[in-house]
Structure 1
Amino acid sequence: MIVPDISQNAVAVADHYDELDPIYRRVWGEHVHHGLWTTGRETPGEAVEALVDTVGDRLGLRPGQACVDIGCGYGSTARRLAVTRGVRVTGFTLSTEQARYAAARAAPEVDIQVRDWLTNGLADASADAAWAIESSEHMVDKLRFFAEAHRVLSPGARFVICAWLAETGASGWKVRHLLEPICREGHLPSMGTREEYEEMARQAGFTVTGYEDVSRRVARTWPICAGRFVKALFTDRGTRRLALGARNRKSFLGIPRMILAYRTGAMRYGIFTLTKAGENGR
């Protein structure tokens, strides 16, 4: 497990997203996560929605199901799946700014809450499906992240995680100059490998029923974000003022690091499909 030399907590994560909210929306858009390219001809918007739809497919969502979006950001993924799959979604975010933006775009069957997933307050076996798109990285206690998902999900339910992962056996220079700084600058309490995630899932009681490494299909997200960020710096005074004066301004150093981390293989992007055993233990 990669752990930054400066410890991170939920308060720091919330502050990060609240302060940089205008830049995140300008650079990332309403979906604060990678895009997934298949043909290479997709627009960034189409690629982002393709990742959401992939998650929905792997969950096998059915109309009327109660779902949980762990780390829902601006609620865009929750809204898309609620509309396209006919499900009900409860989303959790640490950011009041993200929740405020989501509230202004409220959708039927979508409830966004400002609350830490590790103390989510949901009843046992109350959800039919759950997903976490690039939010597990921000969890201070990853074992509890998995355990809470297992507790909240009903027997037989699926849990899909899209995660930034460290290369298994990453060499020392990759850890020192790429992975550890990415954790520190991005307010990630830790970054695990595929094997560590799968072991934590099993300890929580899940069966790992699927895994795919889609690093090559998502990596172009970062050059696109870099281009948008540089353009915003030159054309928008508000963006420039915030980027240069923000408490969390060092986060932007992570953009070139992410590009290099993908190109060197230091970082991977994995999609896990987990299943909670059914009532008969299967």
Structure 2
Amino acid sequence: MIFPSADQTSAAVALHYNELDGFYREIWGDHVHHGYWRTGRETSAEAAEALSALVAERLGLGRGMRVCDIGCGYGETARLFASRYGVALDGVTISESQFQMAAARNAPGVSISLCDWLQNGFADASFDRAYAIESSEHIADKARFFAEAHRVLRPGGRLAVCAWLAKSGALGRVDGILLERICRYGRLPGMGTEEDYCALAKGAGFSVARVDDISGQVSRTWAICIRRSLAKLASDRRYRAFLLDGGAHNKAFAATLFLILAAYRTGAMRYCVFTFEKAA
């Protein structure tokens, strides 16, 4: 597990997404997660939706299921799943800005809550399926993240987790510096390895059904985000003003775009989709 040199609290994570809200939507799009280039010919929007579709495939979504989106962002994936698969979906986000946007775009079958996942208030055995797309990285107590997911799932339930990961094995000095700064600037309390996630899930009572390393199919996301950001810096004074604002808490995240692309290229950073199952 890689840890940043400064602690990253849930309040800092919420501030990160609130402060960068407009930039995230303009640079990343409404899904706020990596794209998955299954064929390599997808547009950015198609690739972002393809990652959601891969999660749905791993979960085995079916009409009438109750599903939880842990860290739902603007609710785009939740709305997609509700409309496409006929599931009832509860999403949670820690960001007030994301919650307001998700609530404004509310859709049938989707309910969004503003809360910390570790204090979610859902009853035991509430859900048939749950998923976390790039949100577990922002939770300091990852053992409790998995314990809560196990608690709210019904027997036979399934959890899918898409996660930014450190490579397995020993890290060189440069790779260690890259990942520490990604954690610090990106408000990640810790970045685990594939083995860390599997061990934590098993410790919570899950079995590991499948692990897909799709690093090579998602890393293109960062080159695209860099190009978009540079274009915005050149054309939109808001971006330049934000970087020059001495009161902005999260402007260092701009550097993270380059750090993450470098970490993928050196192999220091990986991206996996985990499928975990709760015993029937």
TM-score when normalising by structure 2: 0.98
* C-alpha displacement of 1:175: 4.1
In structure 1, the partner of 2:255 is 253
Are residues 105 and 265 of structure 1, via their aligned partners in 2, closer, same or farther at CA, if it must alter by over 3 Å?
same
Q: Deviations over 1:98-133 (max 9, x none)?
A: 111111111011111110000100000010100000
SS at match of 1:56: helix
Q: Distance in 2 between matches of 1:54 and 1:174?
A: 32
- 1:76-87 alignment runs, 5 A limit: 76-87=76-87
Q: Distance in 1 between matches of 2:174 and 2:112?
A: 37
2:112 maps to 1:112? yes
* C-alpha displacement of 1:238: 1.8
Q: Deviations over 1:47-68 (max 9, x none)?
A: 0000001100110011111110
In structure 1, the partner of 2:154 is 154
* C-alpha displacement of 1:239: 2.5
Q: Distance in 2 between matches of 1:249 and 1:108?
A: 36
* C-alpha displacement of 1:220: 0.2
2:201 maps to 1:166? no
Q: Distance in 1 between matches of 2:86 and 2:244?
A: 43
In structure 1, the partner of 2:189 is 189
Q: Check the 8 A contact 2:222/2:257 in 1, yes or no.
A: yes
In structure 2, the partner of 1:235 is 235
* C-alpha displacement of 1:176: 3.3
* Percentage of matched positions with identical amino acids: 55
- 1:208-227 alignment runs, 5 A limit: 208-227=208-227
> Structure 1 counterpart of 2:201, which letter?
A
SS at match of 1:113: strand
In structure 1, the partner of 2:98 is 98
Q: Distance in 2 between matches of 1:170 and 1:214?
A: 21
Q: Distance in 2 between matches of 1:196 and 1:188?
A: 15
Q: Distance in 2 between matches of 1:193 and 1:169?
A: 9
Q: Distance in 1 between matches of 2:263 and 2:73?
A: 24
Q: Distance in 1 between matches of 2:172 and 2:185?
A: 19
In structure 1, the partner of 2:2 is 2
Q: 2:277 aligns with which of 275, 278, 282?
A: 275
Q: Distance in 1 between matches of 2:189 and 2:177?
A: 17
SS at match of 2:252: helix
- 1:15-26 alignment runs, 5 A limit: 15-26=15-26
Q: Distance in 1 between matches of 2:58 and 2:161?
A: 10
Q: Deviations over 1:137-184 (max 9, x none)?
A: 000100000000000000001000000000012423244321111000
In structure 1, the partner of 2:178 is 178
In structure 1, the partner of 2:61 is 61
2:65 maps to 1:45? no
Are residues 18 and 185 of structure 1, via their aligned partners in 2, closer, same or farther at CA, if it must alter by over 3 Å?
same
Q: Distance in 2 between matches of 1:225 and 1:243?
A: 16
Q: Check the 8 A contact 2:179/2:268 in 1, yes or no.
A: yes
Q: Check the 8 A contact 2:91/2:112 in 1, yes or no.
A: yes
> Structure 2 counterpart of 1:121, which letter?
G
Q: Check the 8 A contact 2:52/2:77 in 1, yes or no.
A: yes
2:130 maps to 1:130? yes
Q: Check the 8 A contact 1:170/1:266 in 2, yes or no.
A: no
Q: Check the 8 A contact 2:55/2:160 in 1, yes or no.
A: yes
SS at match of 1:31: coil
Residues 10-19 or 231-240, more deviating: 231-240
SS at match of 1:239: helix
In structure 2, the gaps of 5 or more residues are none
Count, aligned residues: 278
In structure 1, the gaps of 5 or more residues are none
Q: Distance in 2 between matches of 1:84 and 1:243?
A: 40
Q: Distance in 2 between matches of 1:233 and 1:51?
A: 28
